[in-house]
């Protein structure tokens, strides 16, 4: 088990639509973990941001920053006798990726001041699973899950995020990262594919590793 390797906090990461929440929920169920999910639906600015990004980017990002901080800080203080493993569908660091993508220079400077003032108060994951997929795959998955506010997301926006995610997690300084390409697997509906992913997570060495599972 992961806890035998000293992994008590596992974070699942990836670009919009890649399947990180689905995997976090599966891991929570299979491995009796406490699951933390991003509260995107509680962000009052998100739908407005997708409709008209520029005037709502800063409010959207600041809400996410403070909400993620609150969630992770609470998890660090929470005493749960029934779970040895905590799994989340995000890292605190990911917020800065979106901020760099969406904010103006002056907004980002202000955002960084707030982020640096509070980042030391939250726990860091012991391991990160970074799910990757091509832009066509991401667009297909976003369309299939059918969230109305996401219908305007374009491939060019995802491409920019993907590049920032790749740079960030290929050089992640805080924990080992398992990078999994998910283009040819469906771990939600295919038990064999899921086993490939879970086995890779359990056997991952304590270093950044790239894994390309072959679905069948």
Please report, for the domain that includes residue 16, its CATH number: 3.40.50.300
Contacts within 8 Å (CB) and 24+ apart, 204-210:
204/127, 204/176, 204/178, 205/176, 206/5, 206/176, 207/176, 208/170, 208/172, 208/176, 208/177, 208/178, 208/179, 209/176, 209/177, 209/178, 209/179, 210/179, 210/181
User: Which residue in this structure is represented by tokens 């806890």?
Assistant: 3
- Which DSSP symbol is given to 19? S
Q: Does residue 138 sit within a domain?
A: yes
Cβ count near 190 (within 10 Å): 13
Query: What is the domain range of residue 37?
Result: 2-211
Residues 75-134 pLDDT 10s: 765 646 677 899 999 999 899 999 999 999 999 999 999 999 998 878 889 999 999 999
Q: Does residue 84 sit within a domain?
A: yes
Element housing 130 (H / E): strand 127-132
Residues 86, 24: Cα–Cα separation, whole Å: 10
Q: Does residue 104 sit within a domain?
A: yes
Active site residues: 89
Cβ contacts of 214 within 8 Å, gap of 6 or more: 184
Q: Give the distance between the most distant pair of CA atoms in the chain.
A: 49
Q: Does residue 216 sit within a domain?
A: no
pLDDT at 159: 95
pLDDT at 123: 86
pLDDT at 40: 85
Number of structural domains in the chain: 1
Q: Are 82 and 52 in contact (CB under 8 A)?
A: no
Residues 31-90 pLDDT 10s: 999 899 988 888 999 999 999 999 999 999 999 999 998 888 877 656 466 778 999 999
């Amino acid at each position: 088990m992961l806890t035998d390797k000293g992994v008590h906090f596992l974070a699942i990461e990836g670009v919009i639509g890649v399947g990180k929440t689905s995997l976090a929920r599966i891991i929570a169920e299979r491995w009796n973990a406490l699951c933390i999910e991003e509260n995107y639906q509680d962000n009052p600015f998100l739908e407005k941001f997708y409709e008209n990004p520029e005037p709502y980017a800063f409010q959207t990002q600041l809400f996410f920053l403070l909400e993620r901080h609150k969630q992770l800080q609470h998890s660090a203080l929470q005493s749960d006798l029934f779970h040895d493993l905590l799994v989340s569908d995000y890292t605190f660091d990911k917020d800065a990726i979106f901020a760099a993508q969406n904010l103006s220079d002056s907004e980002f400077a202000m955002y960084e001041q707030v982020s640096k003032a509070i980042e030391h108060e939250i726990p860091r994951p012991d391991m990160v699973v970074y799910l990757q997929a091509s832009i066509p795959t991401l667009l297909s998955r976003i369309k299939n899950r059918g969230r109305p506010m996401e219908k305007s997301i374009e491939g060019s926006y995802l491409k920019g995020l993907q590049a920032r995610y790749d740079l960030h997690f290929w050089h992640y300084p805080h924990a080992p990262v398992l990078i999994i390409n998910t283009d040819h697997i469906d771990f939600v509906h295919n038990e064999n594919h899921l086993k490939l992913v879970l086995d890779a997570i359990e056997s991952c060495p304590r270093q950044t590793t790239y894994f390309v599972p072959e679905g069948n």
